[in-house]
Chains A and B, each alone.
Chain A
């Protein structure tokens, strides 16, 4: 594959292609090694990490809805200490840029997590998750308040010098306002969207399907909303964007690039097909070739008038 054709940059973060796995849908990068070489991807965003080890939420944690999935995993993860001790050694030789996703329950926790990763060479960027809908404090509570986004971003910026991505929640009235706060706080890249808050009800049991009542909706059902938000950000702000939300095919990915994303996140597609992200890389390449496009820059943001 011609390398140059698919190259993209997110500020200082240079990727050989625009396909990044979305956090929480690709484990810690090694789980799917039997399906395809992870080095085929632009980057891998790892499962979200918190300060302390977390057991996650009660089961069932997942409910299928038309063309979508509601999840309420609850950030089950081994915690930052175990991550550094046990997981980093396992992934340090993977030939793909690795992005750590961090979730705090307070500004100090976000800062502490970023500080812990500052000197970790394996981690090429940090994604600040201010948008998890499945934890009681922190998470989305931060991501729906522009003042909090600013504060979290500013504090992480003080201790983390590498590329900082801020992952935004779509559960807001004005996504541009949230992104502006992140940019003012010092974010280098914006990723969006995290899941949309939703629910499903079991009509036989007459109660919510998920024990947590609400969950995060992902999959093709949310793509139009995600695309609109990426478009709005590109229209109003000059910051690299990782666009995600329901991308299942190369064509879906191209839509996000046209809307203004410089890279795309593939998440739920991997739960349907373990090799979906690799397939999307190939499909983007095929689209570019078929349309005689020599580089991704020629299409990024081109849907804007």
Chain B
């Protein structure tokens, strides 16, 4: 794929738009595996990114990434027109069959990215609200404006209180004054700590919840067993059977 744009949208947060010469198949919750540098063995492995948006007509795929290590530091330097090798539409995404439901999307940090693509695909058939969590306002501005464009109600939680509720997005979800309607279904993506808390919350309330897990991956195609997730149905691969799992089935480490 060719880089169409690569620009800063927040503190260390970037949006990269990729143009393919083939039809893009990616669905919400699936991920791409990006080879940052074809000319060098450093970094050696690809990097997985959930899909933020797809324009199927124009063969455009967008990801959001935060610069946090060797791979993303190199990504930041990529220019428009640069070519990158991409394995596209990997893993199993969110289920898209829900209809006429009160749906809550819960996203933390970079975990918000796949929820935008999901919201776009399911908003016509459902009543959706989205809860976003991050450290501060600057990390949320971009996402908040994108969800607002879709005319979806956005509730924000920031750790420093610079935007919306002061605290975690799970504390916000748990606040009875915020979400008053009955919740039928939750989709979530974010740090493990957030998903753990969400899991204990839904346990009491019995709400069906799907979660996209962030695990460190190796191959991304199911052969190396680096990203094994323990579930009540046995070991699963985040890259193959996941990254989306029913949250109640996931067994988190202590």
* Most central of B35, B216, B224 by chain A CB within 10 Å: B224
Q: Is the CB of B44 within 8 A of A67?
A: yes
**A119 CB, nearest partner CB in chain B, Å:** 28
Q: Is the CB of B45 within 8 A of A64?
A: yes
Q: Is the CB of B219 within 8 A of A69?
A: no
**A132 CB, nearest partner CB in chain B, Å:** 13
Residues facing A in B205-219 (CB within 8 A) are 215-219
Q: Is the CB of A32 within 8 A of B41?
A: no
CA distance A271 to B221 in the complex (A): 8
Asked whether A76 and B225 contact (CB < 8 A) given A62-B216, A69-B218, A274-B219, the answer is yes
Q: Is the CB of A59 within 8 A of B216?
A: yes
Q: Per-residue 0/1 for A23-48: is the Cβ within 8 Å of any B Cβ (1 yes, 0 no)?
A: 01111000110010000000000010
Chain A interface helix/strand/loop/mixed: loop
- B228 within 8 Å of A by Cβ? yes
> Nearest residue in A to B46 (C-beta to C-beta)?
A272
**B74 CB, nearest partner CB in chain A, Å:** 12
Query: Looking at the complex, which one of A32, A64, A273 makes contact with B70 (CB distance below 8 Å)?
Result: A64
Q: Is the CB of B44 within 8 A of A268?
A: yes
Chain A residues lying within 8 Å of B226, measured Cβ to Cβ, are: 59-62, 71, 73
Asked whether A271 and B228 contact (CB < 8 A) given A56-B235, A76-B235, the answer is no
Q: Per-residue 0/1 for B32-74: is the Cβ within 8 Å of any A Cβ (1 yes, 0 no)?
A: 0001000001111110000000000000000000000010000
Q: Is the CB of B44 within 8 A of A220?
A: yes
Interface residues on chain B, number (Cβ under 8 Å): 27
Chain B residues lying within 8 Å of A26, measured Cβ to Cβ, are: 223
CA distance A55 to B225 in the complex (A): 11
**A13 CB, nearest partner CB in chain B, Å:** 23
**A107 CB, nearest partner CB in chain B, Å:** 26
Q: Is the CB of B228 within 8 A of A71?
A: no
Q: Is the CB of B45 within 8 A of A69?
A: yes
Q: Is the CB of B44 within 8 A of A69?
A: yes
Q: Is the CB of B44 within 8 A of A272?
A: yes
**B26 CB, nearest partner CB in chain A, Å:** 15
Name A residues whose Cβ lies closer than 8 Å to a Cβ of B.
24-27, 31-32, 35, 47, 55-56, 58-62, 64, 66-69, 71, 73, 76, 219-220, 248, 268, 270-274
7 more A-B residue pairs beyond the given contacts A25-B219, A67-B42, A73-B225, with a C-beta to C-beta distance below 8 A: A32-B221, A55-B235, A61-B227, A76-B235, A219-B41, A271-B224, A274-B219
